[in-house]
Structure 1
C-alpha cells in the first residue's frame, strides 16, 4: 500500500514539509560519504527556510497544551488504557518542556555561524560549493565521517525539540482519524463534508494498481481523481473503478 497525505490548511502543510525534510536529513546524516553529509547540511538550510515563521514554536506549544487537556479528559473513562494514556501525556509534557526551553529564533545558532552562512550562500548557486569556491568547506569534507557526523549533529541539536514536537503533533493527528474503505467509480470519487473542518486526509492504495490520486478539498467537498503514468511519465486519466482506503483526520 502507498499512503498519500493531503493537508487541508497551510499550518499542516508546513508541518508535513518539515517532517519530510527531517526524514531526509536523518537518512543522509547517518551515511558516511562527504557528498551525503553535504546533502544533510543543505537540508538544514532548507529547514530554516520553511521554519522561518516566527509563530511556529508558539503554534506547536498551544497545540500540545490543547492535546494535553483533551487527553486529561479521558482519565476518568474506564474504557481507556491508563498506562498508554499516561505514556502519551508524559511525552506531551517532555516535548513541551524541551520546546519552551529552546532559546531564541529557530535555527539562530546556524544563522550566527558565519562559516555556515557562507556555505548556505554558495549552495544556492548551481555548482557553487566547489572546492575552489569554498576551500575551507572542501577541507572539512575530508575529515573523518565521525567528525562530520558530530559537527552536523551539533549544529542541528538546537532544532531537535522543534522537530520532536512536530513529530508528536502529526502522530496524534494521524491517529485521530478512522479509516474507511471506498471506491472511485470510473476513476473519480466525491464526498460531501457538510462543512466539517478536517486537518488532513490520508489515502492508501494498492501499489500494484499503478493509480495516482489527484486530491482537492475544502470544508464542503472532497474530490479525488485517479490517473496513471504512461511511458513518458505523462498523467493519463483512469476510467476503471479504483478501490482505496480513506482516513479523514482532525484534532
Structure 2
C-alpha cells in the first residue's frame, strides 16, 4: 500500500473538517478515507486488523466497480496537468518543482488510462477473497467455524499475510497514488482566511469567476463545537453545532465562533 494517507485530520492543536464541493472530490475523499483505514490497521497485527484490511479492500473494489471514479480520476489528472502547463511561463514559478509535479501526474496518467488497467481485478478474482466476500454479507460470518480457511490464513506469519495483501492489492496502487497527488495539490492551493460565524452561522457566495473544489475549516481541537458544512458549486453554509447535554441532540450554538477557512481549488 502507499505511504501517503493519514488516518485523521488532527494536527497539533487544530482539527480540520472538510467538505467536497463536487462529486469528483467526494469520490477522492472516500477513497482516501478507505486507504487511511488500511494503512492504520496494517501497522497492527491482530486478527481483527487483518479482517478489517480485507473488508476495506473489498469496499475500495466495490467503490471502483460501482462508480465512474476511475474516469473521474483521469479527468482530474488531465485537468491539473493543463493547469500546470499554463504556469510554465510564469516568472514566479520554480521550474524544478513544476516539472516534478507534472511528472508525478503524467506517471499516474500513464498507468490509469491504460486500456488494460482494471483496478481491483486481482483482488476480486482471488478465490479466497470471493469466499471471504460472501461471508462478510452474513452477520458474524467470519467466525472460524464458518470460514476455516480465513482462520488458517490468520495464523500464517505476519510476513506472509502482509506480502499476500501487497500482491492482492498491487493493482490498486496507481489509484491510491493518484488520489494522494490530486488531493494534496488541491489542499495546498489555498491561503487561509480568518472568519467568524455569528450565532454559529456562516454563509458565503462564491463569485461567478471563481471556483471551489474543497472547503476546509480549522478549529481548535478543544472546541466543544463542530462545523456542519453544506454546499454546492456556487455557495456554501457552515453551522457550528454542539451537543445538548440534556437531550443529547445536536443544536446550533448561539455563540460567535472564530475559525480558519480554506476554499481550495487547484
TM-score normalised per structure 2? 0.88
Q: Secondary structure at the match of 2:142?
A: coil
Q: State the match for 1:226 in structure 2.
A: 240
Residue 180 (structure 2) pairs with residue 171 (structure 1) = no
Deviates more, 1:83-92 or 1:50-59: 50-59
Q: State the match for 2:7 in structure 1.
A: none
Tell me by how many angstroms 1:53 deviates. 4.1
Question: Is the contact between residue 22 and residue 232 of structure 2 (CA under 8 Å) also seen in structure 1?
Answer: no
Q: State the match for 1:151 in structure 2.
A: 164
Q: State the match for 2:145 in structure 1.
A: 132
More helix by share: 1
Q: Secondary structure at the match of 2:107?
A: helix
Between the aligned partners of 2:220 and 2:85, the Cα distance in structure 1 is 38
Deviates more, 1:169-178 or 1:138-147: 169-178
Label 1:45 to 1:93 Cα distance change in 2 as closer, same or farther (>3 A).
same
Q: State the match for 1:210 in structure 2.
A: 224
Label 1:57 to 1:219 Cα distance change in 2 as closer, same or farther (>3 A).
closer
Q: Secondary structure at the match of 1:131?
A: coil
Between the aligned partners of 2:62 and 2:240, the Cα distance in structure 1 is 32
Q: State the match for 2:21 in structure 1.
A: 8
Q: Secondary structure at the match of 1:31?
A: coil
Question: Is the contact between residue 194 and residue 219 of structure 1 (CA under 8 Å) also seen in structure 2?
Answer: no
State the superposition RMSD in angstroms: 1.8
Label 1:129 to 1:88 Cα distance change in 2 as closer, same or farther (>3 A).
same
Label 1:17 to 1:233 Cα distance change in 2 as closer, same or farther (>3 A).
farther
Tell me by how many angstroms 1:7 deviates. 0.8
Residue 84 (structure 2) pairs with residue 105 (structure 1) = no
Q: State the match for 2:8 in structure 1.
A: none
Q: State the match for 2:82 in structure 1.
A: 69
- String of CA shifts for 1:128-175, please: whole Å, max 9, x gaps: 001111111110110011111111111111111011111111111112
TM-score normalised per structure 1? 0.93
Tell me by how many angstroms 1:228 deviates. 1.3
Q: Secondary structure at the match of 2:169?
A: helix
Q: State the match for 1:235 in structure 2.
A: 250
Q: Gaps spanning 5+ residues in structure 2: where?
A: 1-13
Between the aligned partners of 2:61 and 2:34, the Cα distance in structure 1 is 10
Tell me by how many angstroms 1:207 deviates. 1.6
Deviates more, 1:55-64 or 1:173-182: 55-64
Tell me by how many angstroms 1:186 deviates. 1.2
Of 202, 210, 215 in structure 2, the residue corresponding to residue 201 of structure 1 is 215
Question: Is the contact between residue 111 and residue 117 of structure 2 (CA under 8 Å) also seen in structure 1?
Answer: no
Q: How many residues align?
A: 251
Q: Gaps spanning 5+ residues in structure 1: where?
A: none
Residue 42 (structure 2) pairs with residue 29 (structure 1) = yes
Tell me by how many angstroms 1:6 deviates. 0.4
Between the aligned partners of 2:260 and 2:204, the Cα distance in structure 1 is 13
Deviates more, 1:121-130 or 1:107-116: 107-116
